[in-house]
Amino acid sequence: MLFDIFQTGVSLFREVHETRWNPYGLEGDILLFFRDFKKSIDSKDLQRLQKLISENYYSKSYVNQNKQQLICWFQKIFQKMPSFIYPSLEIEICKTPEIKDEDKVYFVIIPTINIHLLGINLASQLFGTNSRIAMILEKNTNSGLFSIINMEEL
Protein backbone atom coordinates (compact mmCIF):
# COMPACT_ATOMS: atom_id res chain seq x y z
CA MET A 1 0.00 0.00 0.00
CA LEU A 2 2.81 2.43 0.88
CA PHE A 3 4.49 1.60 -2.43
CA ASP A 4 1.26 2.44 -4.32
CA ILE A 5 1.06 5.85 -2.64
CA PHE A 6 4.72 6.52 -3.46
CA GLN A 7 4.21 5.43 -7.08
CA THR A 8 1.15 7.73 -7.43
CA GLY A 9 3.16 10.65 -6.03
CA VAL A 10 5.99 10.04 -8.50
CA SER A 11 3.49 9.84 -11.38
CA LEU A 12 1.88 13.15 -10.38
CA PHE A 13 5.29 14.84 -10.10
CA ARG A 14 6.37 13.45 -13.47
CA GLU A 15 3.14 14.62 -15.17
CA VAL A 16 3.53 18.20 -13.89
CA HIS A 17 7.23 18.27 -14.82
CA GLU A 18 6.62 16.92 -18.34
CA THR A 19 3.79 19.38 -19.09
CA ARG A 20 6.04 22.28 -18.10
CA TRP A 21 8.63 21.18 -20.67
CA ASN A 22 6.15 19.89 -23.27
CA PRO A 23 3.03 22.08 -23.17
CA TYR A 24 0.05 20.66 -25.01
CA GLY A 25 -0.30 22.23 -28.46
CA LEU A 26 3.38 22.86 -29.22
CA GLU A 27 5.56 20.70 -31.43
CA GLY A 28 8.60 20.79 -33.68
CA ASP A 29 10.63 24.00 -33.90
CA ILE A 30 8.07 25.95 -31.85
CA LEU A 31 8.42 23.46 -28.99
CA LEU A 32 12.21 23.76 -29.23
CA PHE A 33 11.89 27.56 -29.09
CA PHE A 34 9.66 27.31 -26.01
CA ARG A 35 12.14 24.99 -24.26
CA ASP A 36 14.98 27.42 -24.99
CA PHE A 37 12.84 30.34 -23.75
CA LYS A 38 11.92 28.44 -20.57
CA LYS A 39 15.52 27.42 -19.93
CA SER A 40 16.76 31.01 -20.34
CA ILE A 41 14.19 32.29 -17.82
CA ASP A 42 14.61 29.37 -15.41
CA SER A 43 18.38 29.94 -15.33
CA LYS A 44 18.09 33.78 -15.27
CA ASP A 45 20.28 33.91 -18.40
CA LEU A 46 19.77 37.37 -19.98
CA GLN A 47 22.26 36.77 -22.81
CA ARG A 48 20.44 33.64 -23.90
CA LEU A 49 17.11 35.45 -23.57
CA GLN A 50 18.29 38.34 -25.76
CA LYS A 51 18.93 35.89 -28.60
CA LEU A 52 15.31 34.74 -28.43
CA ILE A 53 13.85 38.24 -28.84
CA SER A 54 13.94 39.85 -32.27
CA GLU A 55 15.69 43.18 -32.79
CA ASN A 56 12.38 44.22 -34.39
CA TYR A 57 10.36 43.35 -31.26
CA TYR A 58 7.42 45.68 -30.62
CA SER A 59 4.28 45.87 -28.49
CA LYS A 60 1.44 48.37 -28.31
CA SER A 61 -0.42 47.06 -25.25
CA TYR A 62 2.38 45.48 -23.25
CA VAL A 63 4.44 47.59 -20.86
CA ASN A 64 7.69 46.65 -22.59
CA GLN A 65 7.32 48.19 -26.04
CA ASN A 66 10.75 47.33 -27.49
CA LYS A 67 13.45 44.72 -27.01
CA GLN A 68 15.56 46.83 -24.66
CA GLN A 69 12.62 47.54 -22.34
CA LEU A 70 11.67 43.85 -22.28
CA ILE A 71 15.22 42.77 -21.44
CA CYS A 72 15.42 45.44 -18.69
CA TRP A 73 12.13 44.14 -17.25
CA PHE A 74 13.52 40.59 -17.06
CA GLN A 75 16.76 41.92 -15.56
CA LYS A 76 14.84 43.70 -12.77
CA ILE A 77 12.81 40.56 -12.04
CA PHE A 78 15.94 38.38 -11.89
CA GLN A 79 17.83 40.89 -9.70
CA LYS A 80 14.99 40.94 -7.15
CA MET A 81 15.43 37.21 -6.59
CA PRO A 82 18.14 36.05 -4.19
CA SER A 83 20.83 33.94 -5.88
CA PHE A 84 19.50 30.70 -4.36
CA ILE A 85 15.94 31.19 -5.67
CA TYR A 86 15.08 30.46 -9.29
CA PRO A 87 12.01 31.06 -11.43
CA SER A 88 10.25 28.33 -13.37
CA LEU A 89 8.31 29.42 -16.44
CA GLU A 90 5.06 27.62 -17.10
CA ILE A 91 3.01 28.30 -20.24
CA GLU A 92 -0.59 27.35 -20.88
CA ILE A 93 -1.43 27.30 -24.59
CA CYS A 94 -4.84 28.88 -25.24
CA LYS A 95 -4.79 28.82 -29.04
CA THR A 96 -3.05 26.35 -31.29
CA PRO A 97 -0.15 27.97 -33.16
CA GLU A 98 -1.30 29.42 -36.47
CA ILE A 99 1.04 30.12 -39.38
CA LYS A 100 0.44 33.71 -40.56
CA ASP A 101 3.10 33.96 -43.24
CA GLU A 102 5.78 31.54 -44.29
CA ASP A 103 7.97 32.85 -41.47
CA LYS A 104 5.52 33.99 -38.73
CA VAL A 105 3.57 31.97 -36.18
CA TYR A 106 0.76 33.36 -33.99
CA PHE A 107 -0.53 31.83 -30.76
CA VAL A 108 -2.13 32.80 -27.45
CA ILE A 109 -0.66 31.83 -24.09
CA ILE A 110 -1.01 32.38 -20.36
CA PRO A 111 2.57 32.48 -19.02
CA THR A 112 3.20 32.08 -15.30
CA ILE A 113 6.49 32.48 -13.48
CA ASN A 114 6.71 30.19 -10.45
CA ILE A 115 9.30 30.92 -7.77
CA HIS A 116 10.87 27.79 -6.27
CA LEU A 117 13.12 27.08 -3.32
CA LEU A 118 14.31 23.48 -2.97
CA GLY A 119 11.42 22.26 -5.14
CA ILE A 120 8.77 24.10 -3.12
CA ASN A 121 6.66 26.64 -4.99
CA LEU A 122 6.82 29.87 -2.96
CA ALA A 123 4.85 32.10 -5.32
CA SER A 124 3.34 32.34 -8.78
CA GLN A 125 3.03 35.49 -10.85
CA LEU A 126 1.61 36.12 -14.27
CA PHE A 127 4.07 37.31 -16.86
CA GLY A 128 3.69 41.09 -16.47
CA THR A 129 -0.03 41.01 -17.22
CA ASN A 130 -3.23 39.71 -15.69
CA SER A 131 -4.58 38.18 -18.88
CA ARG A 132 -3.65 36.20 -21.93
CA ILE A 133 -0.85 37.21 -24.25
CA ALA A 134 -0.92 36.98 -28.03
CA MET A 135 2.56 36.19 -29.26
CA ILE A 136 4.07 36.25 -32.73
CA LEU A 137 7.25 34.36 -33.45
CA GLU A 138 9.30 35.06 -36.55
CA LYS A 139 11.54 32.49 -38.22
CA ASN A 140 14.98 33.70 -39.27
CA THR A 141 15.37 32.79 -42.94
CA ASN A 142 19.11 32.13 -42.58
CA SER A 143 19.18 30.04 -39.40
CA GLY A 144 15.60 28.72 -39.31
CA LEU A 145 15.38 29.67 -35.61
CA PHE A 146 12.40 31.48 -34.11
CA SER A 147 12.45 34.73 -32.12
CA ILE A 148 9.71 36.77 -30.47
CA ILE A 149 8.67 39.70 -32.65
CA ASN A 150 5.49 40.77 -30.84
CA MET A 151 3.55 40.26 -27.60
CA GLU A 152 0.18 41.89 -26.97
CA GLU A 153 -2.09 41.72 -23.95
CA LEU A 154 -5.54 40.35 -24.79
pLDDT band with cut points at 50, 70 and 90 for residue 132: confident
pTM over 0.75: yes
Q: What is the pLDDT of residues 32-75, one digit of tens each?
A: 898 999 999 999 999 999 999 999 999 988 767 899 998 998 89
Query: Could you give all domains of the chain from N- to C-terminal order, each with its CATH number?
Result: 2-153 (3.10.450.50)
As a whole number of angstroms, the distance between CA 74 and CA 14 comes to 28
End-to-end distance of the chain based on CA atoms, in angstroms? 48
Task: Give residue 5's pLDDT.
Answer: 53
Q: What angle do CA 78, 104, 61 make, to 5 degrees?
A: 50
